[in-house]
Structure 1
């Protein structure tokens, strides 16, 4: 899963007759289905499959496959977005990406070697990002500027809803991997059919012009040359790296590090913990956003939530128990949800130039996607080198704490 999903909207030649509420509901379903695949497959089914294939090397194999597949995801998202921009249509990319993902997931369910699992997951990541790039472009395409905040908040509920449903489905099918993979393929394909059937493409006046690679690189460098934006970018990257370095290995942590209650398997434990995390994340996203608006303070919310994310990494170290893990997931969800909500608002206030807002937000998305590529390599290296998950929690916590400190030098926002 990556988040480099900003695409430039094009002027519509005809008004959009889709009812706003219906459109947002369809987008919520489409995003929830996508995140169900990312969370259910990436957090449960894939680690379970790798553990069965390579039980002695599962940490290293998962890290390698996760890192390489993230490169495919990061590359395919902007390419697919640019191609859908130039074609002037979204539906073919949404439907094509979903159906290709269905095929990739079916392939994953039928292989039994690490090599083919890696190939299959790379295919799924690539095709899911084709779907993701086109789906996320619908908001700037179809939603008026004055209503995009509400639209983004509603669509953002796809994370707690989709994440929870995905892990629950995966936990029930972890013992029947082929069935689980096919079920997720059907979920994403059905959501694509629903969205493209009821949210048809609006004719475009003209395709968007291609942006040369040299121009994109120049834009990246010019945005990072801005003092406040550079520090916001750094804080986001460190926070995301610390978070995903630990969360990506939670199934193995539950099996190898935590004392679970008798009869509770790691996939079943994930089915309990994920709703705890997602509910906490949803609450802190809403509360943090509202309070930061009311008090007109951003840095304190971003800094405190990043620091909290770092400190709670100590909980599973000092209390490697089931109750300790519940507390960790609740606190971590509160911290990460508040951070992502308010940090996004903070970034909009430190963009170098208002007229380049979409472009520079796209640059910021590298701070989301890049650490997700690095995180599996970092996590597997730490666990392998130091022989356990305690060092992984400490490294993840340290990264989040440094991310909190990176917020302090920002001068243009209170």
Structure 2
């Protein structure tokens, strides 16, 4: 019979000696649900603005320059996230607190994100909009780095596909809530930002009481030196090749995914000619979300049962690429519905299984937060690169057909490179 640890049974920190140990006991449902809720809050704060609100605000400032404004703002925010994720992850690795290593940074990150979202509601111009979105990215990526590191801290390998699938549910529900906010506020993006801030706070609070975060003994924290601190952000792909290939795989798949979703509002508005593009984004996101939830849970449990990760990552990457091709060659409402469904099937399995794979190629238990922060750069860097790639493709080099074909090719490269990982089946 599998025993369970007390994660989620009480507040406070767990035994000090367990901070750097490999977990062996299954986590409880209450702890898992608190992690899911943090992911819901963070992803509502991310995707409500990214999918609809920032686009609406860009149109408010300049209809003619909306694509450029959106690319500038999202690109700048994503550049901040490149630094925030590994930096906050490193801070949490080194945190000596009676609350544990991760909880303080979940709280601080959510606080900064909330301030940024509320500021966006009253931003007077593009410059302020950009700076405040950067603050949202700083805070939410800090919280994301900490909550992501909590999983390998407390979840044994045999359970990580399942927990990864459930955590992905939080991601998808957050994306859906973000789209729902954009549709419900009917162009009132200021109210939308307030609702996203409320979701971020509500998602964070349960984890503060149910985290059972493990305390790092002061004696276990290495001495601080700037040279070692900065050098730690480079993880040599030659020394850790599986980590390097896993990073590249996630990076490529996410570049493809962001190219598909970045201009979805404008795609429905300008290419499909859908009368209510905000409502269209909600419908497509809802369809995508339902199928992602189903395949994330099924894929996570399935990969735990068979003990293999790579075949699932390869198959799901190929399905994501197929979704992009459907949008490229069927720019109709029916085609958009089919593309969203196929994307949900592929991305749900990918989220669950790839996360489990990544936790098995981390170089060190002592630096899980930092290492997962470096991995999360593979989520954030595509947000910088995708607008740079997408803007000329849409405005100069053939429009949305070219954009989505390029997205499919890049995503397929992720499926190819995952075979290079040797230490995980």
- Verify same fold: TM over 0.5: yes
Find the aligned partners of 2:233 and 2:137 in 1 and give their Cα distance.
Answer: 27
Tell me the equivalent position of 2:221: 208
1:98 aligned to 2:110?
Answer: yes
SS of 1:155 mapped into structure 2: helix
**Are 1:121 and 2:124 counterparts?**
no
For residues 282 and 232 of structure 1, the distance between their equivalents in structure 2, rounded to whole angstroms, comes to 23
Please give the root-mean-square deviation of Cα atoms over the aligned residues, in Å: 3.3
TM-score (norm 1): 0.83
**Distance (whole Å) between structure 2 residues aligned to residue 225 and residue 240 of structure 1:** 24
Deviation, 1:331, is 0.4
State the partner residue of 1:156: 168
Q: Which residue of 1 aligns with 2:38?
A: 30
Confirm whether residue 233 of structure 1 aligns to residue 250 of structure 2.
no
Q: Is the 8 A contact 2:114 2:197 kept in 1?
A: yes
Which residue of 1 is the match for residue 409 of structure 2? 398
Does the aligned pair in 2 maintain the 1:30–1:135 contact within 8 Å? yes
Instruction: Please give the per-residue CA displacement for 1:168-188, whole angstroms capped at 9, x wherever unaligned.
Output: 122111421221111211222
CA distance in 2, matches of 1:256, 1:294: 45
**Residue of structure 1 equivalent to 2:8:** none
Distance 1:25 1:102 in 2: 22
The answer to whether the aligner puts 1:316 opposite 2:327 as a matched pair is yes
Gaps of at least 5 residues in structure 1 are 1-9
Instruction: Pick one of 165, 168, 181 that aligns with 1:169.
Output: 181
The question of whether the paired residues in 1 share the 8 Å contact of 2:80 and 2:137 is answered with yes
**Counterparts of 1:108-147 in structure 2 under 5 Å?**
108-141=120-153
Q: Is it true that 1:189 corresponds to 2:198 in the alignment?
A: no
Deviation at 1:122, TM superposition (A): 0.8
User: 1:223–1:363: 8 Å Cα contact kept in structure 2?
Assistant: no
Match of 1:56 among 64, 86, 92: 64
Out of 368, 387, 390, the position equivalent to 1:376 is: 387
* In structure 2, distance between residues paired with 1:199 and 1:352: 22
Are 2:95 and 1:86 aligned?
yes
Give the secondary-structure state (helix, strand or coil) at the position aligned to 1:111. Answer: coil
Decide whether the 8 Å contact of 1:220 with 1:360 is kept in 2: no
Cα gap change, 1:38/1:59 in structure 2, threshold over 3 Å: closer, same or farther? Answer: same
Distance 1:310 1:75, change over 3 A: same
Q: Matched residues in 2 for 1:379 and 1:402: separation?
A: 18
Deviations 1:316-358 (A, max 9, x none): 2322111110000110121222233333444566x38677894
Q: SS state of the match for residue 365, structure 1?
A: helix
Matched pairs, number? 399
Gaps spanning 5+ residues in structure 2: where?
1-12, 20-26
Whether the 8 Å CA contact 1:12–1:205 is kept in 2: the answer is no
